[in-house]
Chains A and B, each alone.
Chain A
Amino acid sequence: MALLPLGALVLAGCGIPTVGNSPGATTVSKSVYNLWQGFTLGALIVGGITIALIVWAVFAYRRKGDNIPKQSQYHIPLETTYTIIPILIVLGLFVATMVVENKEEALPKTNVTIDVNAFQWGWKFLYPGHDVVVVGQTTQEPTMVMPINENVHFNLTSSDVIHGFYVHDFNFSRYAQPGVLNQFTIRATKLGTYDGQCTQLCGLYHSLMVFRVKVVTKAQYAAWLHTNYNPVAATAAFAALKQQTSSITPTKIDESEGNN
């Protein structure tokens, strides 16, 4: 039974309803999707059996007269069984979770870094070393450009309240918080433009705090950086960001220097 969810990962893609979920546009989003399928397979089996038992109990044993049924109360082997089986299922789910989580939380060596700074009510995307900054708020949503098939390192911060950095097609979100530097790596594998939105309530215009992510080829990315080269704006933006984040100690040790 413990192997059931792991087996489900292998079976990924075999007819489990997706209900709006997708493998997404990154390496991790695909693993997350497979994990989701494994959980869903387990949920359908366990949930299906349980609902069948409930429905059976309700209809097969509906009151037919004024009889008093046998007053049985304990069945130790049965009770033990339905204690142990869930423990095994849960451990299986935990192992599958850890496999994907370790992949998602890894910080491999990267050549591209994007600093994302959320504020009420918009987003600032800074490209260190290239003097490029993209800013947009509410009705003028910004577009973050990133190269395909490249590990992109993100430094996520907030300059006021807590925001949620969420890109549906990345199957991923992370809080942008004041006083916290959140780091993660995303490797996009599909060209395209994707919707992003703030998910954590951040005040009046929370509903309008959207952005776009555009995944482009490496050549397009280089050209885009060149076109948007703006040292005056970028220097000011980096200085402002540095002032906010100077006192922050990263929550994770950056492994890009050591392990990889």
Chain B
Amino acid sequence: MTDVLDPPVVVEHHDEHHEDHGPTGILKWITSTDHKVIGLSYTITSVIMMVIGGLFAEIIRAQLTTPNNSLVSLAQYNELFTMHGSVMIYLFIGPFAFGALANIIVPIQIGAPDMAFPRLNALSYWLYLTGSITMLSGFFVAGGAANFGWVAYAPLSNSINTPGAGADLWIGGLLLTGFSAIFTGVNLTATIFYLRAPGMTMFRMPIFTWNLLITAILILLAFPVLTAGLIMLYCDRHFGTHIFSVAGGGVPVLWQHIFWFWGHPEVYILALPIFGMVTEIIAVFSRKPVFGYKGMVFATITIGALSLGVWAHHMFTTGVVLLPFFSIMSLLIAVPTGIKMFNWIGTMWRGEVWFSTAMLMAIGFLITFLIGGITGIYLASPPLDFFTHDTYFVVAHFHSIVMALMMGAMGALYYWGPKITGYLLNETIGKIQFWLLFIGTQVFTLPMYVLGLRGMPRRIAIYPLHHSWQYLNDWASIGALMIGLSTVAFLVNIAYSWKKYPAGDNPWDGHTLEWFTTSPPPHHNFYRLPQIRSERPTWDYNHPGHTAAEHGHSAAHRDETPVEAPTS
């Protein structure tokens, strides 16, 4: 059999003169419309948000280590968990999932020179940054930051129950980041539909790109609803409308419908891009094509479609929703998600699994996501939801999910980071980070499931001495500390590995087009492109004779001459 070939030699012709007489330094960065620069800005900003949100989490966990603790006041605690949730969901994992790596990788994966609307892309980033600063600035106004939970249920979020500018800054910040998301959704959809390289048919798109397409469509369906809801909420607070207030003939529960009509698709808006990242990582580090590629695509489409019809499973205990409908719809999401899980396992099956940090993170994702997914099935059953709703069981469930996403995100940084920066991260520190993160996550979430079953409600700052909740909370706090240390390890790794290990074009023997170009890629991404005859053009180019066996029979040997990039 053929040995692994060296990555193709890149023809050196720096035709980037048009870049040379533009602005330089920070002005160049600020005015850049290059999707890679914007994507890197997104990455750095969202990782900073992760650190901020993580610090809030550590304070929350410290407060809960002993009963009747007074580390923070009740008011401060409400602000902390509101901003922890808001920062993590709105400012970290969302923008990371569809803003950071999507921006950098999707155009390269489909052989495009940039996003379809580069200036709109820049606007997205600046809206995201200003929105983030706006929301966080709530801590510096009288009355403090928003304190009504990240879901802002009416009527707690009205101007009587939550006066003060912190809440308004929260609404304003969320509106700005919401528009940022909508514009990114428009941009990704247009890019994926119109800028694919010759030969890159829909069913030759890498799974990551597929997932971002479905995500972008979900963004376009869900985020405008949130934006509308936020404007209604603002009007209720300041302009005397009564959309969510009983006194004026309004309906408080309408806010929950609007919020979760966005909020449940949002879960998949966060998750689908990470699913895509994990899919790529598992395939590359198993040296196999994605098992059941087409099934994977249809599963993603099914998840996206079902996610629009399950919002009221967050509202089972309101007593005003049709329980059987939302129960069966929510349970059904387990089916396409299960298909994905088995496809991931199938991809590793009979492969050559390489335990790089990125792959370990992906395996950690599989196990953690499985735990979160299975406990999610409990919550889709109304009678089981009734007694776990708003307890730590729910908190544990979605922290299993988001910590799995966090592992996927970290894996993606180890996997694609070298492509963006040109340098690898240290694998030893990476593995320390992985084990801290993986074990920390289980030590953190598993006791919280038990706490929920023992009746500890969420969002309480203090609990009485007579309950047996303390040692479980202590374990959860130890887990949270380990997760915090894993983040420290990550930051240490960036500092330690700074420009130390040159990556080369294709350090992982990657499958997709981004591994065909240089690290970092040139201004318009490609000097030349390989022939695109499957979803793995770079692999096909590097390993002729090892193309995927389609439906049982081997593909014929193909002409693998590189062609000039149509775009530059």
Contact = CB atoms under 8 A, between A and B. Distances in A.
Interface residues of B, number: 94
A39 B156 contact: no
Nearest to A35: B383
Contacts of A39: 377-378, 381, 384
Contacts of A120: 161
Contacts of A184: 319
A58 B348 contact: yes
Max chain A C-beta neighbours (<10 A), residue from B155, B351, B552: B351
B287 A69 contact: yes
B345 interface: yes
A241 B457 CA distance: 27
A201 interface: yes
A89 B239 CA distance: 50
A204 B370 CA distance: 36
B378 to A, nearest CB: 5
B533 interface: no
Interface residues of A, number: 89
Contacts of B350: 61, 69-70, 72
Interface stretch (A6-14, A45-53, A145-153, A222-230): A45-53
Contacts of B115: none
A32 interface: yes
A171 B349 CA distance: 42
Nearest to A250: B319
A79 B353 CA distance: 22
B288 A104 contact: no
Given A35-B384, A68-B287, A201-B459, A105 B323 contact: yes
Given A71-B549, A73-B549, A164 B460 contact: no
A179 B251 CA distance: 7
Interface stretch (B117-125, B175-183, B331-339, B431-439): B331-339
Contacts of A76: 551
A199 B390 contact: yes
B119 to A, nearest CB: 40
A177 B75 CA distance: 23
A27 to B, nearest CB: 13
Given A71-B547, A180-B319, A200 B153 contact: yes
Interface string B49-81: 000000000000000000000000011011000
A179 B353 contact: no
A166 interface: yes
Nearest to A161: B156
A20 B454 contact: yes
Interface string A101-115: 100110000000000
Interface in B140-163: 148-149, 153, 155-156, 161
A177 B383 contact: no
Interface stretch (A91-99, A125-133, A213-221): A91-99
Contact of B253 (A82, A94, A173, A180): A180
A207 interface: yes
A79 B342 CA distance: 8
Interface string B242-257: 0000100001110000
Contacts of A62: 352-355
A173 B386 contact: yes
A45 to B, nearest CB: 11
Nearest to A47: B374
A68 B1 contact: yes
Interface in B372-391: 374-375, 377-378, 381-384, 386-387, 389-391
Given A35-B383, A97-B327, A90 B148 contact: no
B353 A162 contact: no
A184 to B, nearest CB: 8
A76 B381 CA distance: 31
B190 interface: no
A238 interface: no
Contacts of B77: 207
Interface string A10-52: 0000000011110000001101100110010001001100110
A61 B156 CA distance: 54
B384 A32 contact: yes
Contacts of A57: 345, 348-349, 351, 353
B293 interface: yes
Contact of A54 (B2, B335, B366, B546): B366
B363 A83 contact: no
B445 to A, nearest CB: 13
Given A19-B453, A73-B289, A79 B295 contact: yes
Contact of A180 (B3, B320, B341): B320
Nearest to B349: A57
Interface string B449-467: 1110111011111110000
A71 B546 contact: yes
B4 A66 contact: yes
A105 B382 CA distance: 10
A51 to B, nearest CB: 6
Given A179-B246, A201-B148, A86 B374 contact: no
Nearest to A196: B455
Interface of A: 18-21, 28-29, 31-32, 35-36, 39, 43, 46-47, 50-51, 53-54, 57-58, 61-76, 78-79, 82-83, 86-87, 89-90, 93-94, 96-98, 100-101, 104-105, 120, 160-162, 164, 166, 168, 170-175, 177-180, 182-184, 195, 197-208, 247, 251-252
28 contacts: A18-B453, A50-B370, A53-B342, A53-B345, A54-B366, A57-B348, A63-B353, A66-B3, A68-B2, A68-B4, A72-B288, A74-B291, A74-B294, A76-B551, A93-B377, A101-B323, A104-B386, A105-B323, A161-B156, A164-B390, A171-B387, A174-B386, A177-B252, A179-B246, A203-B78, A208-B462, A251-B319, A251-B320
Given A43-B377, A74-B293, A83-B339, 14 more contacts: A47-B371, A53-B345, A54-B366, A57-B353, A66-B3, A73-B289, A94-B327, A97-B384, A104-B383, A160-B155, A195-B455, A198-B457, A205-B74, A247-B246
